[in-house]
Amino acid sequence: MEYIFGVPGEENADFVMSLNQSDKIRFILTRHEQGAAFMAEVYGRLTGHTAGCLGTLGPGATNLLTGVGDGNMDLAPMLVLAGQGSSKRLHKESHQIMDAVSMFRPVTKWAETIRHPDNIPEMIRKAVRLARSEKPGAVFLELCEDIASLDTDAKPLSVRRYPRPMPEAESLEQACEMIRNARRPVIIAGNGVIRMKASDSLRRLADLTGIGVISTFMAKGCVDVDADYCLYTIGLGRKDLVACAVDAADLVITLGYDLVEYHPHLWNPAGDKPVLHLDSTPAEIDACYHPELELIGDIGHSLDAIADNLSKGSLPSFDLQPQQAVRRDMTADLEMHKDDDTEGFIRPQKALWDVRQALPADGLVLSDVGAHKMWIARHYHCHQPNTCLVPNGFCSMGFALPGAIAASLIEPQRQVLAICGDGGFMMNVQEMETARRYDCNLTVMVWEDKEYGLIAWKQTDHFGDHTPLSFNNPDWMKLAESFGWQGHSVANSRDLQQTLTTAMNEEGPSLVVIPIDYRENQILSNRLGEIACPI
């Protein structure tokens, strides 16, 4: 473990003082425990390893909860640590005492109290193994202040790796037969492809067969956006162009697909679409997701075995015309506003086009949650895995700024851009100080509309109007100055790309604020659901 992010307190003082003597683990002091949890989540998603997030008892523990829920549902390995009062007073009403273990159980893979110092090596080893094992997630350990102060001779347990299971040969052969017999197969790639580092194997299969690859929000970059077989992203609540490729398919191959991201009733409403499921675990039971065959094990190995098998004979002759039509029309849609020259407001499509042009292939975008997330999902696409992080299970606002801090600490030379709405950004605005204190090289781009725009969008879609959702904002440039950040305000489309490039090449943290034209939300809603499939 490299990092523990958090806020110390009285009841975790022994632990924090001991941690201060470590030459292997760096403690990052945050301004709020929620920010610490988001930082640990992003560390886990980018590296596949665990980081810790720390709070004290009572409110310190409850402040961690939202970020922990987000990381757990987005399948990020993370170790959650909280102090607790003396074990001598847990059984009764007592100052700041609450049952934190029971509170964390619904949002973790395992939650437990450390009852004896000699148990710590076993419990830490178990916690980290559970956190990293497929499907990964959060684990929670609580340490009472009187237990933390005790001495122990127990030594840490060494790490023991174990191989991932592999599908049996008979199942692999059946999978290949399903693919050979299909005329219009399509691939839906999910988060598991990124987590299990199977992108190279997926690209090999797609290069070999030409089968189109659709990614979920959290699988962006599993194939290169420039590849002819890249069919962009699926996941919006209404039918989009990309869904036409699924409609036309006579076989859907799902790879590391997590139902929490995009419910199958949206792409397989009758539950009659033939599905081949490749994942680390068996399929979740769902009436609209009932695979004919499941290959359980290492996704990369399964894909390589299928590619090897298919390449031995003549390759199947697939009908790729529907997929090519989807890519053609979606590409034209993405390019529609790239040359905008609007003043006073900037369209979401133009903003994301310029972000893609300004960032290198390995640049990292972190999306917060709000209306902008829908636009990022649809309009921002990647060349490499783990270059766009979208929270799409628990979907917590306030994710992107703390996440960008963690990313910049992990890879300080990488260009890191957080995109936030003005609502989500203000939920963890205090972490601007953390970013400045650690001299983080990052940029935050705020889309200002002065309301909870996603809720306004959804209420308008459903009811034709929305409840009062407007609010005021600070003077952004004064806010940036007060925290020691660089600040940029962009009002005109033509100035955005150059301003982004300038901001991302400045030393330390930078803030870029744009007036977003969310009139486009309703325009998109009017188009979605009435898509005429180009086949």
The CATH number for 270's domain is: 3.40.50.1220
Alpha-carbon span 138 to 195, nearest angstrom: 15
Indicate whether 330 belongs to any domain: no
Single out the residue in 118, 149, 180 at which a domain terminates: 149
Averages of pLDDT over each 10 residues, the chain, 535 residues = 94 88 94 98 97 95 97 97 84 83 97 94 96 96 89 89 87 95 97 96 97 97 97 90 94 96 92 95 94 96 96 88 94 94 96 97 97 96 97 94 98 96 97 98 97 91 91 97 98 96 96 96 84 68
pLDDT of 148 reads 85
| Together in a domain, 260 and 381 | no
Q: Which helix (H) or strand (E) holds 207?
A: helix 199-209
Tell me which residue has tokens 């034709």.
464
Indicate whether 462 belongs to any domain: yes
pLDDT of 526 reads 87
Residue 151 CA: distances (Å) to CA of 119, 141, 478 = 12, 18, 50
Contact call for residues 76 and 45 (beta carbons, < 8 A): yes
| Together in a domain, 415 and 501 | yes
Contact call for residues 348 and 447 (beta carbons, < 8 A): yes
Alpha-carbon span 518 to 316, nearest angstrom: 45
| Together in a domain, 512 and 407 | yes
| Together in a domain, 374 and 306 | no
pLDDT of 416 reads 98
| Together in a domain, 278 and 348 | no
Q: Domain range spanning residue 249? A: 169-325
| Together in a domain, 481 and 385 | yes
| Together in a domain, 260 and 377 | no
Alpha-carbon span 362 to 365, nearest angstrom: 10
Tell me which residue has tokens 């049952």.
99
Alpha-carbon span 201 to 222, nearest angstrom: 10
pLDDT of 89 reads 83
CATH code: domain of residue 354: 3.40.50.970
pLDDT of 162 reads 83
Indicate whether 156 belongs to any domain: no
pLDDT of 86 reads 78
Indicate whether 162 belongs to any domain: no
Residue 238 structure tokens: 């209404």
pLDDT of 95 reads 77
| Together in a domain, 312 and 447 | no
Indicate whether 533 belongs to any domain: no
pLDDT of 535 reads 60
Angle at 37 between CA 35 and CA 43, to 5 degrees: 105
Indicate whether 414 belongs to any domain: yes
| Together in a domain, 386 and 475 | yes
Taking every pair of Cα atoms in the chain, the longest distance, rounded to a whole number of angstroms, is: 73
Indicate whether 534 belongs to any domain: no
Indicate whether 467 belongs to any domain: yes
Domain count, the chain: 3
| Together in a domain, 127 and 197 | no
Residue 372 structure tokens: 């902008």
| Together in a domain, 378 and 486 | yes
Single out the residue in 283, 306, 325 at which a domain terminates: 325
| Together in a domain, 239 and 360 | no
